[in-house]
Amino acid sequence: MRIRFKPWARPELESSKFYIDNPQEFKEKWKTLYKNEEPFHIELGCGKGSFISKIALKNKNVNYLAIDLVDAMLGLAKRNVEQTYNEVNEEIDNIYLTRFDIERIFLILDKKDKVERIYINFCNPWPRGKHHKKRLTHTKQLEKYKEFLTEKGEIYFKTDDDFLFEDSLVYFKEAGFEIVKKTYDLENEKEFWDNIETEHEKMFKEQGIKIKAVIARKK
């Protein structure tokens, strides 16, 4: 998703207490930032932060790290988190944002960080064949995630894209993940998971596009 440059984003992020500008320094030490050491969940490609702000507030006993590569997105995510928590007068103490290239995520996380769950919501489908390796669910990326996921750690993935979804099911199996659940119509699977609707999800549903979702578990 493209977004216009926002000159205020970088200064706001740098002054924020829940933004990390040097994530490589926290490899193996993320738990030192939080009041509780675990559980630890991450979102890859957090965008404007509507998802991570809501799920983090809803689960104050879980620690969250949201990663994106674009300052403008992270700036909006930062404001979203602040608004969501301020509306109910809650302290922002279980979530951090950081800027990093997810293709190199092994540089900021490893098995000592004990990540129990990864969320991937509506990532770029990279439809052209030569770009498939850029997908966040591609086999080569899943192999990296396995290095820091705990035993039986899970990936929660949802998308509007049929081809990405079908290919991702193959990628999960290739990387040795177990498909715990899958659905081709998340809206009508009320017991699938405790779903938090994203901006993209609402938009796609209004267009009549069904949301596909999967829970994949590290064996």
User: How does pLDDT run across 26-76, given as a tens digit for each residue?
Assistant: 999 999 999 987 899 999 999 999 999 999 999 999 999 999 999 999 999
- pLDDT tens for 67-120 read 999 999 999 999 999 999 999 999 999 999 999 999 999 999 999 999 999 999
Q: Which domains does the chain have, with CATH numbers?
A: 9-218 (3.40.50.150)
Edge-to-edge strand list for the sheet holding 19-20: 19-20, 95-99, 63-68, 40-44, 115-121, 149-159, 212-218, 177-183
Task: State the pLDDT at residue 2.
Answer: 66
pTM above 0.75, yes or no: yes
